[in-house]
A and B are shown apart, each in its own frame.
Chain A
Amino acid sequence: MKFSEIEAEQWDELKPYVDTCLLPITGLDGTETPSEATNYLEQLRDVMDLVEIPYRGRIVTYPAYHYVYGNEGSQQAIARCCANLKSQGYKYIILITSKSDIMFQINEADLWIAPTEDGNLPSDVEISRKIRELWHS
Chain B
Amino acid sequence: MSNHEHQDSKHQPVQRKEMSRRQFLSYTLGGTTAFMVGGTVLPMVRFAVDPLLAKGGESTLVKVIEESKVTAEPQEVKFKVRQVDGWYKSETEKVAWISRDASGAIFALSPVCKHLGCTVFWNTHGRNEYDCPCHDARYSRDGKNITVANLPLDEYVVEIQDGFVYLGGIIANTRA
B134 at the interface (CB under 8 A from A): yes
Does more than half of chain A's interface fall in helix, strand or loop, or is it mixed?
loop
Binding site for B on A (CB under 8 A): 1, 14, 17, 53-58, 128, 131-132, 135
Total of A-B residue pairs, C-beta within 8 Å: 32
Residue of B nearest to A136 (CB): B133
CA distance A120 to B117 in the complex (A): 28
Q: How far is the CB of B147 from chain A (nearest CB, A)?
A: 14
- Chain A CB count within 10 A is highest, among B117, B132, B134, for B134
- CB pair A56–B118 under 8 Å, yes or no, is yes
Which A residues are in CB contact (< 8 Å) with B116? Answer: 14, 17, 56-58
From A1, A17, A53, A132, give the contact of B133 (CB < 8 A): A132
4 A-B pairs with the lowest CB-CB distances in the bound complex, closest first: A57-B116, A54-B119, A58-B134, A57-B118
Which B residues are in CB contact (< 8 Å) with A135? Answer: 133
Q: How large is the interface on B (under 10, 10 to 19, 20 to 34, 35 or more residues)?
A: 10 to 19
- CB pair A58–B135 under 8 Å, yes or no, is yes
CA distance A135 to B135 in the complex (A): 10
B63 at the interface (CB under 8 A from A): no
Which B residues are in CB contact (< 8 Å) with A57? Answer: 113, 115-118, 132, 134-135
- CB pair A53–B135 under 8 Å, yes or no, is no
Does more than half of chain B's interface fall in helix, strand or loop, or is it mixed?
loop
CA distance A1 to B132 in the complex (A): 16
CA distance A53 to B120 in the complex (A): 11
Residue of B nearest to A57 (CB): B116
- Chain B CB count within 10 A is highest, among A14, A53, A54, for A54
CA distance A1 to B117 in the complex (A): 9
Residue of A nearest to B111 (CB): A54
CA distance A56 to B116 in the complex (A): 7
B116-147, CB under 8 A of A: which get 1 and which 0? Answer: 11110000000000001111000000000000
Q: How far is the CB of A60 from chain B (nearest CB, A)?
A: 11
- Chain B CB count within 10 A is highest, among A57, A128, A131, A135, for A57
Q: How far is the CB of B139 from chain A (nearest CB, A)?
A: 14
A-B contact pairs, 17 of them (CB 8 A): A1-B117, A53-B119, A54-B119, A54-B133, A55-B119, A55-B133, A55-B134, A57-B113, A57-B115, A57-B116, A57-B117, A57-B118, A58-B116, A58-B118, A58-B134, A58-B135, A132-B133
